[in-house]
Structure 1
Amino acid sequence: MRNLVSLISLILASGLALAADPSSPEKDSERVVRLVATLEKNPLGVEAAQSRKWLMQWLEETKDFSITVCEILGPVPSQSPPNSAVLLAQQMFGNLAYQIQNPGIRDQLSLQVAGVESTLKAYAVFVSKDPKSRIAHFDDLLQAQKSGSLHSRMAPVIAKECGGN
């Protein structure tokens, strides 16, 4: 997992990651949740790249949370569709935010679906800004989400790719 995280960091980072703002009383975990929500709503924002850099550094350094990266996003990252690295990173960030907000839940299905839901929010923004960035697999996942079947649709994929519970 660390190698994949490092690879994503290299893709997303083109300089030093941001350090936490010492003037802010906000705890890092609160900042993580806030940044993830902001990236879901505005993955193309002025500060989006800096937020992703900070999140990746925090994820690499934290001992409190762990992300299992599984190949559950269809063509991402293997086929490198539009925004592939950002969407994969968002899946990790969504998983992380969910862990922070739900400390007692550790089953892979819940964690991975939370990451996918976060990814779908960012994906919808990308598509609204540039319809050419559509990814058929993600459109199918959005349909499953709208119909309330995303969890059951992802369950066998997550069981296969993430090794069970």
Structure 2
Amino acid sequence: MKKLSILFLLGIFVFGVETSLAQSKQDKDRAAFIGNTKLLEKKPFDDNAPAAREWNFKWLTDTKDVTITVCSGTLKLIPEKKNKFHSELFLQFNFGMAVFSLQNPDKKDDEVAATVAGLESALRAYEVMVTENKKAQNPAMDELLAKRASNGLASYVETNTCKQDDKKKDEK
């Protein structure tokens, strides 16, 4: 009986350690995602930027920790036309939305706030890109910077959300 109790306690200990290690990895991955997102805002052309984007994208698509919503309304927020770095900025936009949701779990359903946070993240990266490479300049992105400067970004986002997309579909 004593041997059975010891084995039972050992099993509980091992299970506890495994759970703790899994939680620790989850916390580390989450911190790495947030850190990579901040790095990409400040140094979008860093030598490690492509690897950071790739890791973030894989983590975001694989994790159950956070969900972001992208639709035709939000796709329009990062202009594609004459935007040399559209892919990088679009990924940054998505990473910024996810970071907002991770850091504000009480606002995870606030689509406008998450979208604004994602757009802010992309705009910070864009500003650095333009400083480092004039070919990154894009008139539509500059318009977004102007909207941000005049505190009009949130109202602009409100007209380009997935909920607005759904309303437009319902009206047809």
TM-score of the pair, normalised by structure 2 = 0.73
Distance of aligned partners of 1:141 and 1:54 in 2 relative to their CA distance in 1, 3 Å threshold: same
Counterpart residue type for residue 115 of structure 1: G
Identity of aligned residues (%): 33
Distance 2:56 2:124 in 1: 18
RMSD: 1.9
Q: Number of matched residues?
A: 138
Matches within 5 A, 1:101-120: 101-105=103-107, 106-120=109-123
Partner of 1:46: 47
Distance 1:99 1:80 in 2: 30
Matches within 5 A, 1:1-165: 27-70=28-71, 71-76=75-80, 79=81, 81-105=83-107, 106-158=109-161, 159-161=163-165, 163=166
Deviates further, 129-138 or 52-61: 129-138
Distance 1:144 1:89 in 2: 21
Distance 2:77 2:82 in 1: 11
Say which SS state the counterpart of residue 59 (structure 2) adopts: helix
Counterpart residue type for residue 99 of structure 1: S
Counterpart residue type for residue 81 of structure 1: N
Gaps of 5+ in 1: 1-23
Counterpart residue type for residue 123 of structure 2: L
Distance of aligned partners of 1:67 and 1:131 in 2 relative to their CA distance in 1, 3 Å threshold: same
Partner of 2:9: none
Gaps of 5+ in 2: 1-24, 168-172
* TM-fit CA distance, 1:131: 1.9
Say which SS state the counterpart of residue 27 (structure 1) adopts: helix
TM-score of the pair, normalised by structure 1 = 0.76
Counterpart residue type for residue 119 of structure 1: A
Contact 2:79 2:141 in 1 (8 A): no
* TM-fit CA distance, 1:25: 10
* TM-fit CA distance, 1:68: 1.1
Contact 2:40 2:125 in 1 (8 A): yes
* TM-fit CA distance, 1:32: 1.2
> Larger Cα Rg: Structure 1 or Structure 2?
2
Counterpart residue type for residue 97 of structure 1: V
Per-residue Cα deviation, 1:57-105 (whole angstroms, up to 9, x for no partner): 10111012111123132523xx362111111100100001111111111
Say which SS state the counterpart of residue 105 (structure 2) adopts: coil
Counterpart residue type for residue 122 of structure 1: A
Distance 2:149 2:89 in 1: 19
